[in-house]
């Protein structure tokens, strides 16, 4: 998978790579028939068909106060009923890990495990990323098509925790933009999700990054 590079040291390759906004450096990709390059064009997905992923159609109850916990899955109505979350370490350069470039990895979120911030913490961003594939079948494609301001995100832990967030901001930025906002460790608690978007110039090389910021909500 590709690695992110730059101030937003977040994720590499189609999920969030780069050299500024989220440290998205582009790395070598393994050619395959499906071309599992982790991101898809944004803002439209013209010409691609979103593969069916389990979709959340009900609204599970939310907890108001939860001690910080490791996320196990994330549900978003109309996007996924419970995408698994991988707790991944940063690499030697401080870049957050990303899901593997596999048929399973394309349906998963990566979370910047501790010392990264956990859901339920009082301050800072919980850093997440996901892959976007050129053929439109990855979780990142579904997020680009279905996650908007005002939508709810339900983060579940492995011990019954259930914390809800509401998307407050969705932004598209150049791949070489600075990413201080994504890596924020102070201020109000938020989820911060990033995927590659824009125009695909080559394997792991996209012109933009799309980010979502979401704040805790009681419902």
Max CA distance (Å), the chain:
46
Q: What is the DSSP letter of 65?
A: -
Q: What is the pLDDT of residues 80-136, one digit of tens each?
A: 999 999 999 998 888 899 999 999 999 999 999 999 999 999 999 999 999 989 999
pTM: 0.75
Please provide the CATH number assigned to the domain covering 13-216. Answer: 2.40.260.10
Q: Is 7 exposed, middle or buried (0-12, 13-18, 19+ CB in 10 A)?
A: buried
Q: What is the pLDDT of residues 16-63, one digit of tens each?
A: 333 333 333 333 333 333 445 543 322 222 233 344 455 545 555 788
Residue-range domain boundaries for the chain: 13-216
Are the beta carbons of 167 and 148 closer than 8 angstroms?
yes
């Amino acid at each position: 998978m590709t690695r992110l590079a730059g101030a937003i040291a977040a994720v590499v390759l189609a999920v969030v790579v780069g050299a500024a906004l989220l440290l998205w450096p582009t790395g070598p990709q393994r050619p395959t028939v499906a071309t599992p390059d982790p991101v898809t064009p944004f803002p439209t997905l013209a010409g691609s068909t979103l593969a069916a992923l389990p979709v959340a159609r009900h609204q599970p109850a939310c907890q108001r106060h939860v001690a910080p916990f490791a996320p196990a899955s994330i549900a978003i109505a109309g996007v996924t009923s419970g995408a698994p979350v991988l707790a991944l370490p940063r690499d030697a350069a401080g870049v957050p890990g990303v899901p593997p470039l596999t048929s399973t990895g394309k349906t998963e979120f990566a979370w910047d495990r501790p010392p990264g911030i956990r859901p339920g913490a009082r301050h800072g961003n919980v850093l997440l990323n996901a892959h976007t594939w050129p053929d439109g079948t990855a979780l990142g494609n579904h997020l680009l098509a279905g996650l908007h301001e005002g939508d709810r995100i339900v983060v579940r832990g492995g011990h019954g925790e259930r914390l809800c967030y509401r998307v407050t901001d969705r932004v598209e930025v150049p791949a070489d933009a600075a990413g201080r906002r994504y890596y924020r460790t102070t201020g109000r608690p938020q989820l911060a999700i990033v995927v590659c978007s824009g125009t695909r110039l080559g394997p792991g090389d996209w012109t933009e990054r799309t980010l979502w910021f979401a704040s805790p909500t009681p419902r």
